């Protein structure tokens, strides 16, 4: 029993690293829409095609990835995913040097296939490393580490690409020379990413991971479980909303908020993703089976992390850090209403995220800035809670198939951002945030009704 527990801990640590890797890659690509728009002089709709090239890999490869897991196992699938990520990363070198937008899209697609392999393997593996009652806690913890990476990625773009570039507020005024300067700065982060994932891929073959499929017997097709299918649709809505918000955030702040440069807007994007990190750390202990009094002992360290993280990405602006910490505290207090229950907390957070999206549309200035950034905190527990509710009560042999279906509907990240980009082009950035509000309303419905386990 002790050896099994040790293997489970080793598996959880390893997959936490995997979550970090694909979280960084995903957010880096999403935030790249702003520099890509500058490099190629694209419309907002055209720039959002970069997100589409990434997320279109999910419906194409998620179900095949589940079948690959059944054939070669979780460990080999992860290794294959890492190597594909490296191949996609290195394609950005010629894409930036030419520069070629189609090659940017192709490199993004190849990298995304690798991320799909990782994500389809990682989520069910983590849920199976313990009892169903604490699956949300484990997923929130690993997703929190994923979110550490998502906070770093926009900050890295602000430093590595936008710093001292002095792009004009009007995207139409960006010169060809400035676009080429931005392109010259693109390859280095991708070279580093490619090298890192190759090293990790080589290392995994020396790591022994627990086999979560032992003792499992298949029941029936996962299409017979409405809570799985509707959970996939909730993932579609969630990822579409999260990516749509993030993809427009930098350019929205530059154009709509006075005095916000591209570099500063990228740091605010880092805070948006940092909200997901902080909220998931809250969720990692709020959805666990530890005593309530002990849960509150973790509050101060997470708030301290929020203060330091929010200040760091803004060049140690402690005022912004304190504001972010205050919003994080409000997020934690609201989480108490959920009483540690995944569905109830999901419903509350979905309603608040919808309200913040609508507030972004109908307010201006610093109010709109903080309403859109704060959505990140309420996005935090959505993916892990939706996923754990969607795979609840499934046999372990069914997890890979269910994960394939659910992850295929991450397609929302390819569909919603261009819709928002089209609205931004034709009606203004603020009205685009109505779209994710409706996505959050569906997530509320899933939490209240759709997640109920029913068998046909």
Whole-number Å distance between alpha carbons of 375 and 412: 17
Whole-number Å distance between alpha carbons of 174 and 43: 12
The DSSP line for 171-190 is: GGG--HHHHHHHHHTSHHHH
Whole-number Å distance between alpha carbons of 169 and 39: 15
Whole-number Å distance between alpha carbons of 345 and 383: 12
H helix or E strand, kind and range, residue 325: helix 318-335
Residues in CB range of 422: below 8 A, 6 or more apart: 44, 45
Note the helical H segments in 129-225: 135-157, 176-184, 187-204
Ramachandran quadrant class, 261 (left: phi over 0; alpha: psi -120 to 50; beta: rest) = beta
pLDDT in tens, the chain (456 residues): 455 556 566 667 777 788 888 888 887 787 777 778 877 888 888 887 888 888 889 889 988 988 898 888 888 888 899 999 999 999 988 988 888 889 989 999 999 999 999 888 887 777 777 776 677 778 777 777 777 776 777 777 667 776 766 666 555 566 667 667 777 777 888 888 889 889 888 887 777 776 666 555 555 677 888 899 999 999 999 999 998 998 889 889 988 888 788 778 878 888 998 898 899 889 888 888 777 777 888 899 999 999 998 998 788 899 999 999 999 999 999 999 998 888 999 999 999 999 999 999 999 888 999 999 999 999 999 998 998 899 887 877 788 788 888 988 988 988 998 999 999 999 999 999 999 999 999 999 999 998 887 655
CA distances from 60 to 92, 116, 143 (A): 22, 10, 23
Whole-number Å distance between alpha carbons of 395 and 399: 7
Note the helical H segments in 205-261: 226-256
Burial class (CB in 10 A: 0-12, 13-18, 19+), 25: buried
116-136 burial, b for 16+ CB within 10 Å, e for fewer?
Answer: bbbbbbbbbbbbbbeeeebbb
Whole-number Å distance between alpha carbons of 50 and 29: 7
Question: Residues in the chain, how many?
Answer: 456
CA distances from 363 to 262, 360, 366, 368 (A): 21, 6, 9, 5
Structure tokens at 386: 């939706």
The DSSP line for 354-385 is: HHHHHHHHH--HHHHHHHHHHHHHHHTTHHHH
Within a 13 Å sphere around the CA of 58, how many CA atoms are in the beta-carbon half?
Answer: 24
Whole-number Å distance between alpha carbons of 399 and 390: 10
Structure tokens at 42: 């694209």
Whole-number Å distance between alpha carbons of 1 and 372: 47
Q: Is the pTM of this model over 0.85?
A: no
Structure tokens at 55: 């997320």
For 2-450, CATH number?
1.20.1250.20
Q: Where are the domains of the chain?
A: 2-450
């Amino acid at each position: 029993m002790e050896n099994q527990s040790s293997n489970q801990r080793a598996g959880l640590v390893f997959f936490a690293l995997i979550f970090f890797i694909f979280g960084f890659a995903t957010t880096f690509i999403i935030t790249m829409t702003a520099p890509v728009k500058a490099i190629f002089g694209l419309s907002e709709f055209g720039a959002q095609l970069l997100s589409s090239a990434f997320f279109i890999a999910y419906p194409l490869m998620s179900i095949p990835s589940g079948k690959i897991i059944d054939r070669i196992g979780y460990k080999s699938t992860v290794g294959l995913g890492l190597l594909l990520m490296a191949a996609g990363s290195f394609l950005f070198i010629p894409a930036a040097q030419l520069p070629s937008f189609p090659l940017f899209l192709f490199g993004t697609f190849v990298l995304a296939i690798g991320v799909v392999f990782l994500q389809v393997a990682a989520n069910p593996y983590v849920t199976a490393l313990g009892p169903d009652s604490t699956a949300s806690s484990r997923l929130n913890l690993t997703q929190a580490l994923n979110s550490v990476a998502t906070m770093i990625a926009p900050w890295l773009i602000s430093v590595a690409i936008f710093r001292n570039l002095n792009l004009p507020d009007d995207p139409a005024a960006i010169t060809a020379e400035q676009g080429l300067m931005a392109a010259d700065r693109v390859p280095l982060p991708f070279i580093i990413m490619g090298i890192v994932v190759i090293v990790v891929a080589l290392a995994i073959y020396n790591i022994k991971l627990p086999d979560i499929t032992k003792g499992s017997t298949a029941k029936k097709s996962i299409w017979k479980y409405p809570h799985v299918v509707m959970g996939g649709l909730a993932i579609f809505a969630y990822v579409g909303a999260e990516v749509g918000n993030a993809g427009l955030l930098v350019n929205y702040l530059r154009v709509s908020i006075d005095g916000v440069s591209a570099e500063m807007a990228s740091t605010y994007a880092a805070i948006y993703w940092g909200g997901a990190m902080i909220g998931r750390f809250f969720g990692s202990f709020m959805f666990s089976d530890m005593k309530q009094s002990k849960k509150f002992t973790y509050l101060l360290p997470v708030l301290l992390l929020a203060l330091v993280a929010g200040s760091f990405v803004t060049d140690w602006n402690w005022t912004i850090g304190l504001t972010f910490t205050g919003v994080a505290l409000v997020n934690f207090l609201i989480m108490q209403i959920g009483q540690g229950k995944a569905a109830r907390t999901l419903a509350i957070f979905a309603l608040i995220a919808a309200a913040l999206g609508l507030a972004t549309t109908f307010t201006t200035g610093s109010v709109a800035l903080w309403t859109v950034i704060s959505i990140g905190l309420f996005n935090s527990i959505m993916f892990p809670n939706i996923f754990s509710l969607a795979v609840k009560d499934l046999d372990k042999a069914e997890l890979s198939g269910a994960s394939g279906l659910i992850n295929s509907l991450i397609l929302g990240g390819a569909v919603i951002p261009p819709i928002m980009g089209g609205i931004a082009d034709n009606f203004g950035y603020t009205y685009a945030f109505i779209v994710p509000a409706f996505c959050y309303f569906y997530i509320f419905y899933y939490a209240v009704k759709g997640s109920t386990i029913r068998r046909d």
